Amino acid sequence: MRSPRARAAERKVVSIVPLGSVSRLELATVERALLSFYDLDVRISAEEALPRAAYYAPRRRYRAERLLQHLESSADASSFRVLGLASVDISTTKGEIRDWGVLGLATIDGRVGVLSSFRCRRRASSPELVAQRLGKTAVHELGHTFGLDHCPNVGCLMEDGKGSVLTSDREYDLCAQCRQKLAGKHLLAVPPREPPWPRV
Q: Specify the CATH number for the domain of residue 18.
A: 3.40.390.10
How many Å apart are CA 121 and CA 132, to the nearest integer? 11
Instruction: Establish if 67 belongs to a structural domain.
Output: yes
CA distance 28 to 34: 10
Q: In what order do the strands lie in the sheet with 55-56?
A: 55-56, 61-63, 90-94, 97-102
The pLDDT score that the predictor gives to residue 17 is 98
SS3 per-residue string spanning the chain:
CCCHHHHHHCCCEEEEEEECCCCHHHHHHHHHHHHHHECCEEEECCCECCCHHHEECCCCEEEHHHHHHHHHHHCCCCCCEEEEEECCCEEEEECCEEEEEECEEECCCCCEEEEECCHHHCCCCCHHHHHHHHHHHHHHHHHHHCCCCCECCCCECCECCCCCHHHHHHCCECCHHHHHHHHCCCCECCCCCCCCCCCC
**Is 83 a member of any domain?**
yes
What is the value of pTM for the model shown?
Answer: 0.93
Domain membership flag for residue 190: no
pLDDT of residue 116: 98
In a domain, 38, yes or no: yes
User: What's the pLDDT tens digit per position in 4-48?
Assistant: 444 445 789 999 999 999 999 999 999 999 999 999 999 999 999
Question: Tens digit of pLDDT for each residue in 79-119?
Answer: 999 999 999 999 999 889 889 999 999 999 999 999 999 99
Say whether pLDDT at 2 is over 70.
Answer: no
Look at the chain and report how many structural domains it folds into.
1
Residues 17, 176: Cα–Cα separation, whole Å: 30
Question: What rounded mean pLDDT belongs to the chain?
Answer: 93
Residues in the chain: 200
Average pLDDT in the 134-148 region? 98
- The reply to whether 23 falls in a domain is yes
Classify residue 97: in a domain, yes or no.
Answer: yes
76: in domain? yes
Is 192 within a domain? Answer: no
Rg (CA), the chain: 16
In this prediction, residue 3 has a pLDDT band, given cuts at 50, 70 and 90, of very low
> Range of 149's domain?
4-183
